[in-house]
Structure 1
Amino acid sequence: MGLGDLVQKAMYLGIGVASYAGEKAGEKLGELRIQVQKLADEMVERGEMSAEDARKFVDDMVNRAQQTPSVESNNPKPSEPRKIEILDDDDEEPTASASAPQNSVEEMRRQVTDLQEELRRLKRD
């Protein structure tokens, strides 16, 4: 298995993780809509809200959930894309050439682990 195969698999993994996160976000949004609808129905039954107000309330809550916050409460600066550093083959030390394939495999494993941790963090948020 060559380096090209590893890069391709890493790319597919990234696409798969993004797709999975999107599916989970859609599921959570659906669950939120159901819970908010139940709350609105209870408020209508108690006479605290009209049916039209309940519909607007549910739509407003779902729209708020879909919007991404511009500033997170625990992170004062807006999130920025991670910077990627691209190294040329000339940048490597000559003595590291024999262990370069092993190092790149370990680096890709570390990146996969980082992506998995990021996915878990996104699920919690």
Structure 2
Amino acid sequence: MGLGDLVQKAVYLGIGFASYAGEKAGEKLTELRSQVQKLADEMVERGEMTADEARKFVDDMVNKAQQSAGEPSGARQPTEPRRIEIVTDDEEPGDSSVSQAEQMRRQVMELQEELRRLRNDNS
């Protein structure tokens, strides 16, 4: 496998992961909107709020969910792209590749935790 193939597969993997995460986030947002809408409809039926208040309530809840989903949990956004070091079999990885690998592990763990939290919130 050549270097070009490796880079191409890495790019496709990243794009695929981003696409999958976007689809899942969209599904969760749709589920959330549906649940909040049901709650608002019930409150309108009981006379606890008006239809306009219910509409505003649903919009506010969905906006808050979108904002909180866009914020990483405890991590700050990098100001420049992350460097990727490609190491061949005959080279030893430098300290920078170890720290990058650790960063990627932390990001994956944070994403898994966020997904668990979203699943629990929707249950």
Provide the TM-score with structure 2 as the length reference: 0.67
Shift of 1:67: 1.5
Q: In 1, distance between residues paired with 2:64 and 2:24? A: 17
User: Which position in structure 1 is the counterpart of 2:120?
Assistant: none
Shift of 1:119: 4.3
User: Which position in structure 1 is the counterpart of 2:64?
Assistant: 64
Cα distance change of structure 1 residues 45 and 123 upon mapping to structure 2, 3 Å threshold: same
Aligned length: 108
Q: In 2, distance between residues paired with 1:58 and 1:45? A: 15
Cα distance change of structure 1 residues 5 and 51 upon mapping to structure 2, 3 Å threshold: same
User: Which position in structure 2 is the counterpart of 1:123?
Assistant: 115
Q: In 2, distance between residues paired with 1:6 and 1:16? A: 15
> Of the candidates 81, 84, 98, which is equivalent to residue 82 of structure 2?
84
Higher relative contact order (CA 8 A, sep 6+): 1
Provide the TM-score with structure 1 as the length reference: 0.66
Shift of 1:84: 2.9
Matched, 1:38 2:38: yes
Measured on the aligned residues, the alpha-carbon RMSD in Å equals: 3.5
Using the TM superposition, name which of 38-47 and 114-123 deviates more: 114-123
Q: In 2, distance between residues paired with 1:98 and 1:69? A: 39
Q: Contact (CA 8 Å) 1:36, 1:61: kept in 2 or not?
A: yes
SS at match of 1:24: helix
Shift of 1:116: 5.3
Structure 2: gaps spanning 5 or more residues: 118-123
User: Which position in structure 1 is the counterpart of 2:7?
Assistant: 7
